Each structure stands twice: as C-alpha cells, then as structure tokens.
C-alpha cells in the first residue's frame, strides 16, 4: 500500500514537472519587449512565446495558447488575426509585444492594471491602478459582478479625470473579453468565477500561478465558452437591477430587517 501511495505521489510530481518542462518562468531582461496584455507577457516569461517578445507568428501564437491554456486552435488563430493589425508593416506575418502598446489601436483607456496613456505608461503593471480595480473584488472568489464593478469603476475614473478618455463600442467588446479572461485562464467556466488569489498573483508577477496549485484545465476553451462569459459580463456591467421588496420605514426605524 505504501508503495502505491509513493507511486501516486511520484506520478503526480512527474506530471506537474512535465507540464512545466521547457517552460520555466524567467523574468524579462532589459531588451525584451513586453506589452499591455498580462497573459501574453506571462506566456513570454514562460517561453511559450519568444522570451524577447518579438516575431510572434500565427503558429507560435496558436501553439502557445493551445499548450499553455488549452485554447481551441481555431479560436487562437482568430485572436492572432486580430493582433496582427497592431503591426503597422504591410502584409505583416507576425507582431511584437511592443506593437500592442500603441494607444487606441488595441490598447485602450481604463485598463484594470495599467494607467491611461494620458497619465503616463500605458503598458507596465501599475499597483496604484490595480488597487482601484481591487476595491471591488470584495470576496475570495471573484464573480461576474465583482469583475464588472472593477471595470466600470476604472471607466468612471478615466471618464472623470482623463480629458482624452476614449472607449468605443469596439473597445468595449475587447474590454469584456479581457475582464473575463482570468476566468478563462484560471477559473470555472460554468460558474463564471475565479479564485482572487490566483488572479492577483498572475497580474502582479506575470506568471502562471502553478506554485499556488493551479494547473491547466483538462478541457478545451471554445469561442462559445468565451461568448457566453462576455454576455454574462456585459449584463453584469449594467447599473440597473430588477425590483426588490421595499423595506418599510417603520422597519428601518426599528432597526430590524428580520
Ligand atoms: C493573441 C492573443 C492576445 C492578444 C493580441 C492580446 C492583446 C491584449 C491587449 C492589446 C491588451 C490591452 C488592452 C488594455 O488597454 O487594457 C490586453 C489586455 C488583457 N489581456 Fe490580452 N491578448 C491576447 C490574449 C489574452 C489571453 C489568452 C488572456 C487570458 C486568458 C488575456 C488576458 C488579458 C487581460 C486580463 C487583459 C486586461 C489587462 C488590464 O486591463 O490591465 N489576453 N490583451
Ligand atoms: C520570424 O520568424 C519567421 C518564422 O520562424 C522567420 O521566417 C522570420 O525571418 C522571422 N522574422 C524576424 C523579423 O525575425
Ligand atoms: C475548435 O473550434 C472549431 C470551430 O469552432 C471546431 O470545429 C473544433 O472542433 C474545435 N476543436 C476542438 C479541439 O475543440
Ligand atoms: C501585400 O499584399 C498585397 C495583396 O496580396 C500585394 O498586392 C502587395 O504588393 C503586398 N505588399 C507588400 C509590401 O508586400
Ligand atoms: C501609476 O499610475 C498613476 C496614475 O496614472 C501614476 O501617477 C503613477 O506614476 C504610475 N506609477 C508608475 C510606477 O508608473
Ligand atoms: C464550452 O464549450 C464547449 C464546446 O463549445 C461546450 O461543450 C461546453 O458545454 C462549454 N462549457 C461551458 C461551461 O459553457
Ligand atoms: C484560492 O487559491 C489559494 C492558493 O492556492 C488557496 O490558498 C485558497 O484557499 C483558494 N481560495 C478559495 C476560496 O478556494
Ligand atoms: C443578458 O441579459 C439579457 C436581458 O435581461 C438576457 O436576455 C440574456 O440572457 C442575458 N445574457 C446572459 C449571458 O446572461
Ligand atoms: Mg490600456
């Protein structure tokens, strides 16, 4: 029996090591390109994408999103095509992480963890900005409402204080995809929830939260799964609710709601 337990433990350890094989995390160096996307930066840090953040081709993107996060390959190819517009070269066949930093192409205002371009650097993780978002992450398990509230709060802050605030309906669609992305990478697709500790670790370290016990989901992530989540998130950004039973003023004065 002892041998069986040992074999199981060894087997699990080996499987975990195998998943990480060749994909150790290494911090970016001074000449490595990084961008506004915490996940693409993460995948470059792990070597799923070129560590220097350059020459990211379709094959490289599809293999990275498929092997690191079990994205459907058709979906990953679609995402690559969208990224390609960020490379200004005619008929480009690759993009760099630095290409993504150009403001108002794919990068937009009111990011969850980056400053608006108007205020300074629009692509390096900024803890002050991330704190504005995290105020609304009010439980240990993030749900659609908490994620939506953080997003709307960042937009309100930008709209109020950034005279150049820009947020088109196309940007809104991308933004909804970004806000649900932590659920897609680390969470529960069915419940639309994700462990807050894993998400904070990911944003701050640009590293897969493997050492916190995360492992790649067994199933494949489809465009359907993402569309469903963006629909839920779009609804959750609304500030309108259904009617609730009104608490009478008598009860309020009595201090009793029970
Ligand atoms: C080819 C694939 C991808 C491209 C080209 C891409 C590009 C971008 C860009 C340009 C932004 C910046 C938008 C902004 O101004 O906030 C962004 C943000 C983001 N991306 Fe990606 N992304 C890709 C895949 C992914 C994947 C697979 C995930 C995770 C499952 C992800 C997670 C995020 C998150 C969470 C943000 C929001 C960061 C923030 O608001 O601070 N991305 N992405
Ligand atoms: C990018 O990679 C492709 C395929 O590996 C290669 O043909 C091309 O020369 C590379 N381009 C640059 C700019 O490094
Ligand atoms: C990926 O998605 C495409 C198109 O939506 C579908 O035809 C294909 O079966 C999916 N592949 C996997 C492995 O789920
Ligand atoms: C880009 O592709 C188009 C259509 O295939 C072609 O006409 C054009 O010459 C190409 N441009 C460059 C700079 O290669
Ligand atoms: C973070 O963003 C704030 C607000 O835009 C800005 O004042 C601050 O300089 C930024 N911090 C860093 C380290 O870039
Ligand atoms: C994810 O998508 C797959 C294929 O489209 C589907 O079978 C599955 O039910 C979806 N899961 C959720 C939680 O939506
Ligand atoms: C979230 O993940 C952390 C790190 O693995 C774990 O300690 C914590 O118990 C998890 N929280 C919940 C609510 O499952
Ligand atoms: C979003 O709200 C609309 C209107 O209440 C509803 O019809 C739709 O099913 C909701 N979508 C999701 C994905 O929950
Ligand atoms: Mg931004």
Give how far Cα 135 sits from Cα of 55, 83, 112, 185, 204, Å.
37, 31, 11, 22, 16
Residue listed under structure tokens 């009104």: 246
The pLDDT tens digits for 8-47 are: 554 444 444 445 578 999 999 999 999 999 999 999 999 9
- What's the gap in Å between 78 CA and the centre of ligand 3? 12
Average pLDDT for 162-183: 98
Question: Number of helices and strands (H, E) in the chain?
Answer: 10, 4
Indicate the average pLDDT of the chain. 92
Ligand 2, residues 57, 61, 88: which to mutate, most atoms within 8 A of Cβ? 57
Q: 74: Cβ below 6 Å to ligand 3?
A: yes
Question: Whose C-alpha lies nearest to ligand 1, atom 43?
Answer: 37
Q: 220: Cβ below 6 Å to ligand 3?
A: yes
pLDDT for 14: 43
* Least confident segment among 38-52, 66-80, 244-258: 244-258
CATH topology of domain 3-255: Chloroperoxidase (1.10.489)
- What's the gap in Å between 233 CA and the centre of ligand 8? 10
pLDDT for 94: 98
Average pLDDT for 170-196: 98
Where do the domains of the chain lie?
3-255
Could you tell me what percent of the chain has a pLDDT over 90? 86
The pLDDT tens digits for 217-231 are: 999 999 999 999 999
Contacts within 8 Å (CB) and 24+ apart, 38-43:
38/113, 38/125, 38/202, 38/203, 38/206, 39/69, 39/181, 39/185, 40/97, 40/100, 41/97, 41/206, 42/202, 42/206, 42/207, 42/208, 43/68
- What's the gap in Å between 89 CA and the centre of ligand 4? 11
Q: 136: Cβ below 6 Å to ligand 5?
A: no
Average pLDDT for 149-168: 98
pLDDT for 250: 58
- Ligand 1 atom nearest to 185, measured from its CA: 30
Position 5 confidence tier, pLDDT thresholds 50, 70, 90 = low
Average pLDDT for 81-107: 98
* Ligand closest in space to the Cα of 229: 8
């Amino acid at each position: 029996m002892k041998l069986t337990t040992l074999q199981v433990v060894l087997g699990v350890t080996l499987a975990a090591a195998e998943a990480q094989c060749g994909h150790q995390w290494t911090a970016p160096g001074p000449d490595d390109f990084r961008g506004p996307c915490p996940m693409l930066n993460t995948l470059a840090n792990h070597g799923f994408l070129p560590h220097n953040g350059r020459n990211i081709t379709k094959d490289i993107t599809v293999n990275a999103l498929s092997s690191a996060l079990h994205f459907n390959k058709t979906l990953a190819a679609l995402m690559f095509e969208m990224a390609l517009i960020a490379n200004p070269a005619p008929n480009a066949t690759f993009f760099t992480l630095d290409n993504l930093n150009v403001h108002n192409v794919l990068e937009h205002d009111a990011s969850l963890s980056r400053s608006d371009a108007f205020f300074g650097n629009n692509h390096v993780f900024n803890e002050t900005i991330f704190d504005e978002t995290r105020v609304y992450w009010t439980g240990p398990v993030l749900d659609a409402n908490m994620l939506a509230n953080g997003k709307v709060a960042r937009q309100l802050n930008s709209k109020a204080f950034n005279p150049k605030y820009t947020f088109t309906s196309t940007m809104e669609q991308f933004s909804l995809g970004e806000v649900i992305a932590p659920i897609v990478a680390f969470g529960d697709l069915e419940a639309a929830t994700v462990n807050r500790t894993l998400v904070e670790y990911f944003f701050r370290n640009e590293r897969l939260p493997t050492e916190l016990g995360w492992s790649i989901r067994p199933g494949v992530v489809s465009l359907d799964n993402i569309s469903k989540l963006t629909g839920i998130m779009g609804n959750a950004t609304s500030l309108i609710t259904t009617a609730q039973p009104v608490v009478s003023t008598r009860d309020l004065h009595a201090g009793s709601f029970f």
